[in-house]
Structure 1
């Protein structure tokens, strides 16, 4: 997992790099120009904060929000870690986090009158159990799935979780949540045309700009 965010107006010249969920008990160390965050119990690194980040990655001066890190970026960040005496390294994650999914089955949530439990295919026959509150949820539709590790446009990060006791690994998104132009401003899964994209493909946000063309 690799999520990076840079919001200079809110947090200053700091690049936040998230590698995993926060541990119950965290160890936070300031080591030179880097803050190393790890699990206090087992030492597993869950993230880094790079201060003076635009000096390490000059291109950040034109960025605000989520940052898609390239291998070149990681080379520079890993050099910064090494220069500060930190032996950890950050690895590139090329797995797309927003993909076209196919809702294979839907059943009622036993503890809710509005939630549905879906089995949703994401690629190569792999399915995820995703609990959804979308009022238009149904079987046999193509949707956009935000997988675990995705950062939504509003900054929300998708983690594994439970909704009223039922496991949920991902999120079936609405056009509104994805900030697609002219999308209806109401709850409801974005249902894609059957011939839009293949199941498992990375969702094409550029192509989606015309989904709700007036």
Structure 2
């Protein structure tokens, strides 16, 4: 779930809940709630909440954090408006420290690798990446599905050259870090960085 607020455009709070994968979209609006869905299969990909500031105070523009209590208020409004769905809660951090534990060449590419990346003590994800400095044992920052990059790009599960990929190992430039090198390559963290820890630029970057 990605929450995006635009105070200057109709006071709209948008929740992106799925990747539309390029499919044509349609919407259904009831009162101050609009459900956005794929035309081909009806899958809900987003919710727009109009006049959102009447529900609770929202700080900032762009991607915002929504508390459990605030999400409950949104879901109540969705139900009261006549929809039979709710927005699932997802407050896990979307930018975390990861460690590459396995790296093999992609069979259909001369520059991509298939990495197994540990993102917590009990979870490893597969990420297809072309970073020239990727190597086993490297700790880096992983943007997980549900993340929104500083340039506005959304991260979802997908495929690269036919291989499933879940997330993205990020470069300092992609994370819009100060004094980021303008070259390819994922961010390299110290060996004592804690796998699964939420990304904190003040702690993890000394550019």
TM-score by length of 2: 0.88
Q: Tell me how far 1:45 sits from its aligned partner.
A: 3.4
Q: Which residue of 2 aligns with 1:121?
A: 118
Structure 1, gaps ≥5 residues long = none
What is the alpha-carbon distance in structure 1 between the residues aligned to residue 150 and residue 10 of structure 2?
20
- Out of 186, 189, 193, which is 2:190 matched to? 193
Match of 1:22 in 2: 20
Task: Give the CA deviation at 1:101.
Answer: 0.7
- Which one of 91, 94, 97 corresponds to residue 94 of structure 1? 91
- Structure with greater helix percent: 1
> Given the alignment of the two structures, is residue 211 of structure 1 paired with residue 206 of structure 2, yes or no?
yes
Which residue number in structure 1 is paired with residue 152 of structure 2? 155
Is 1:70–1:92's contact at 8 Å kept on the other side of the alignment?
no
Partner of 1:169: 166
- The secondary structure found in structure 1 opposite 2:54 is helix
Distance 1:119 1:104 in 2: 6
Whole-Å separation in 2 of the counterparts to 1:42 and 1:113: 36
> Residues of 2 paired with 1:54 and 1:22: CA distance?
27
Deviates more, 1:28-37 or 1:15-24: 15-24
Q: Distance in 1 between matches of 2:72 and 2:182?
A: 41
Asked whether 1:4 is paired with 2:9, we answer no
Give unmatched runs, 5+ long, in structure 2: none
Give the whole-Å Cα distance in 2 for the aligned partners of 1:19 and 1:199.
26
Aligned length: 206
SS of equivalent to 1:101: strand
| 2:54 match | 55
1:8-64 per-residue CA deviation (whole Å, 9 max, x = no partner) reads: 44x44211111222274655201111101245676553321011122223x23x411
Please give the per-residue CA displacement for 1:76-115, whole angstroms capped at 9, x wherever unaligned.
Answer: 2123223323333223212221111111122222222222
Q: 1 CA distance for matches of 2:76 and 2:166?
A: 34
Tell me how far apart the structure 2 counterparts of residues 128 and 15 of structure 1 sit (CA, whole Å).
30
Q: Per the alignment, in what secondary structure is the counterpart of residue 137 of structure 1? A: coil
1:174-185 matches, within 5 Å, as 174-185=171-182
Q: What root-mean-square deviation, in Å, do the aligned CA atoms of Structure 1 and Structure 2 show?
A: 2.1
Would you say 1:111 and 2:105 are equivalent positions?
Answer: no
Distance 2:110 2:160 in 1: 13
Q: TM-score, normalized by length of structure 1? A: 0.85
Please give the alpha-carbon distance, in whole angstroms, between the structure 1 residues aligned to 2:165 and 2:72.
34
